[in-house]
Structure 1
Amino acid sequence: MTPLVFIDGDQGTTGLQVRQWLSGRTDLRVLQLPPEHRKSTAHRAEALNDCDLALLCLPDDAARGAVALVRRPGVRVIDASSAHRTAPGWVYGLPEMEPAQAARIAAAARVSNPGCYPTGALLLLRPLVEAGLVPADHPLAIHAISGYSGQGRAGLQAHEGAAAASAPPLQVYGLGLQHKHVPEIQQHAGLAHAPAFVPAYGHYRQGIVLTIALHQRLLPAGVTAAHLHAALAMRYAGQPCIELQPLGGDVDAQRIDPQTLNGSNRIRLAVFGQERTGQVLLAAVFDNLGKGAAGAAVQNLDLMLGLSAAHTQGPFTAVPDLRAA
């Protein structure tokens, strides 16, 4: 029997992206509620219990409520919100996080999709912490800039709606240093202390660039950029969704375009080093709507349903532009 998938919240930014990515596939069926039933708890509960896999593209509280509506034991759930990313009983949906993670996801009944920023931070940090190259108590500061679609419909409206001309070119936020992604990063990276996390939205639609600066004097003796690069290369060898940029070259001439992997479920990692100052920069670039959200959800869906991984590579169609509406 072809598996039946229900996307609860298919009109939001992530939900629309997932729905478009799944369109045209013949190896699964997508259950959609008519517009007049989308906010009906009774109709949603029926759909949640009729499907084989429910993909929740909802705010945190609504996602918790949706999980409570699932009564049939055979229903499997992927939650794209941040409600369950550190919760017991949920498998963290980052397949490349460690060698056995994809198998855990494939066998799980409850999977929590990772956050967009944590995806980049964890894929950079976890292998290095596990290898002892970055101490678990290292004082970390993580900086990231996302396209405004990371803010959801509010971001799309602000930058593509009637008042788009007054939208800020860059908006740094989370200045209280209590962003909801911090516990997720700390737990899954194996950090002893919460990192300082400074996110921002840029005046472009989608794509993330995330950087983490390290000081070699605070790393174990003898650890260099080359050691960090080699550890990442070993961890991600053969992973189709992860690219590792070669080490070396004219680093000062290099630039990072946050939009370079838009429309895909891939992420590019890089290590830059300056021996004179003893400084290292870790970097990740990926699509906040791809590997940072909908692409990751489809990747987890395919793992859980035992379907072809070829669907997770992209490209996919962007969410509608409000200026064309």
Structure 2
Amino acid sequence: MLRNYKAVGRVLYGRNAFAQLDDIFEPLRVDAGSYVLFLLDEYFEGKDLVKRIPMKNGDLIRFMDVTDEPKTKVVDALVEEVMNEKGMAPVSVVGIGGGSVMDYAKATRLMFTNPGSSARYQGLDLIKNKGVHCTVVPTISGTGAEVSMTTVLTGPEKKLGIKGDFTPADQVVLDPDLISSVPDPQHFYTAMDCYIHNVEALNGNRKTVMGASLGRESLQLCQEIFLSGNSRTPENDEKLMVASYLGGLSLTYSEVGACHAISYGLATVTGIHHGIGNCIVFNQLDEFYPEEVKEFRKMMEINKVDLPKGVLKDYSSEDIEKMVDVALTLTFMWAHVAGPEWEKVITREKLRDLYMKM
């Protein structure tokens, strides 16, 4: 049976779109005590962007530590803290930042209306109640978190998304001016998440015409940006923001593949961030995506990116085995890569050898 996908509700796009945030929240502030919960990357604490947020009396702002990947325990603690302080849920949870902050916002809004720990809901269609309104504002582009139906969290046992119809944000604000100050090489690593999304979506058994059409357009934009010789222009900022949006949408109608499955294992054990982790893994995947890995290396050369080497040299064999364990749990990704009998091709030995190269 075909799935009737839920997409993002509204998209506000264009330069200086951030200035219209108040227009989004005003219709939601109907009851006495109504408030908005703003979640920001702690990078912005004390920065001018905070002064531009249209906060009203009673609104809350929390600066999120994104040193590590988003965690279920952080989501649970935040919801408990806010409910103890306010006694009621916010009218909107707003995530302003990169993929981690947007995922925190998407997960937090769900836990105001669903009981227990967010770890209970890691998986597909486990959320039963619609969350409060959610707005996401990317300040770095590439993850596709602004539009995806997944919020990726690391729990006590696994790194896995809360995925389903209740996960997509209700409102996305795409303002290309917000990503112009992203430092190198983070700008490149996060953008490559988008590039890799597209490569994986376009190469696998679950590819569809819809997903492939979105993925090809996003991939072309990535190529225009990172093969141009100057990726850091206002025009390329705008292209990257659109590429991230389209790349995130493409995954709704396809699936990620080998790189994401292996990088989930890498991140679970090491805590390495998703963007750079994907790049480290993708650089070893000539067997799966030979032409695209070659192009990726050309992009690194043009953009003067020196990818870290030997990141696993100090990890034990037990650590490597745990990475393999995590990667092998992502059966839907491997089915996309190698079909229903993927276990005959994707062996522990193959994955162990790939991790050892890192």
Work out whether the TM-score is over 0.5: no
Structure with the bigger percentage of helix = 2
Q: Whose relative contact order is higher, 1 or 2, with alpha carbons under 8 Å and at least 6 apart?
A: 1
Q: TM-score, normalised by structure 1?
A: 0.30
Structure with the bigger percentage of strand = 1
Q: TM-score, normalised by structure 2?
A: 0.28
